[in-house]
Amino acid sequence: AMGIEDAHLDEYGYVYATIPANTEKQVPVICFCSHMDTSPDCSGAGVKPIIHRNYDGSPIVLPDDPSQVLSPENHPHLKDQIGNDIITASGTTLLGADNKAGLAEIMDAAHFFMTHPEVKHGAIRILFTPDEEIGRGVDKVDMEKLGADFGYTVDGEQRGSLEDETFSADAVVITIHGVSAHPGFAKGKLESAVKAGAELLARLPKDRLSPETTGGRQGFIHPLSFEGMVEKATLQFIIRDFETPKLKEYEDLLRRLLDEVMQAYPNSHVEFKVIEQYRNMKEVLDKYPQVVEYAEEAIRRAGLRPIKSSIRGGTDGSRLSFMGLPCPNIFAGEHAFHSKQEWVSVQDMEKAVETIIHLCRIWEERS
């Protein structure tokens, strides 16, 4: 209905589309990317969105669970939203603004370009991905088909924010193979993999290197899951830091702690597997400074102050950057994501649309 002729869903669940260039200039092909999935941390089934119009600064009580209350004390950015229209869920699910807000903003910008041919721009590629929240958002992206030179994910928080740095990330899977025996006759024989795993977790630092004790640019070791029985137990960790070499330092620490624990289990053995997840996109973006500079200018043209920051996490752009598509993250306006108190402002979404439009115009102007 919008007039985009090549929009399609591929076999892996990715959506591709093109807004054709309408300028005679040779302009780099720019991609805008958002993800369709929502976080598994909170239910996304049966979402009932509510628009709280002309927000007056008072607490917002979500009707389906009155214990869910959004207040400016717990959500400081609400203080900047007086008079705006706030969208929430009803209290029993997340909203899904992460990242459906980005999808809506890209679609609105696409509609603008398709209905305003007088606004000059180069070719614009649209990419919607699945599985971002489980770290597989770009596993099956066809980079040749995408055919873009530079990209932007639209998956950020505060209006005006621009993120050009992410964590570097590994996963570690530890498998402990214990020795099983009948508990009534286990003396001197049984070596419990469950107990060994529990001892490893107990040895992790209590006052540092964990999500709950770090902030800013500090990294961490985070146990995600622990399951097993006497004979076999599996522990999964995520390892994060802005400096890629520190990942190995944390992994070596985890390995040393494991070796210490296993000294008490001489007949057991372990597997220690490191899986690379993504790397800090700043390592790539610093080679293409115009990608971030143009985004800052677009934010200013939308009447906002650019707020450059680092993400204590990752985006599809982290991996896309290392797949040949330098790709910082611009704001979508989503807040309190992965929770029942997730919210977004209509007016912030409108500013995100304006930013996308200005960004495309800037690339055309400076080509």
CA atoms of 294 and 157, how far apart (whole Å): 19
Name the pairing type of β-strands 220-228 and 232-241.
antiparallel
Among 105, 132, 170, 342, the active-site one is 132
Name the pairing type of β-strands 69-70 and 8-9.
unpaired
Q: Name every residue whose Cβ is closer than 8 Å to that of residue 243 and which is 6 or more positions away in sequence.
A: 168, 219, 280
37 a catalytic residue: yes
Collapse the DSSP code of 40 into the 3-class scheme (helix H, G, I; strand E, B; otherwise coil) and give the result.
coil
Q: 134: which DSSP letter?
A: G
Angle between helices 193-203 and 244-262 (to 10 degrees): 130
Q: What is the DSSP string of 284-311?
A: HHTT-HHHHHHHHHHHHHTT---EEEEE
316, 102 in Cβ contact below 8 A?
no
CA-CA-CA-CA torsion sign (344, 105, 132, 321): negative
CA atoms of 351 and 348, how far apart (whole Å): 5
End-to-end CA distance of the chain: 31
- Residue 10: how many other CB atoms lie within 10 Å: 12
Burial classification of residue 30, based on how many CB atoms lie within 10 Å of its CB (0-12 exposed, 13-18 middle, 19 or more buried): buried
Q: Which residue has the tokens 């293409």?
A: 288
334 a catalytic residue: no
Q: How far is CA 39 from CA 162, 186, 351, in A?
A: 22, 44, 24
Q: 287: which DSSP letter?
A: T
Q: Point out the residues that are catalytic.
A: 37, 132
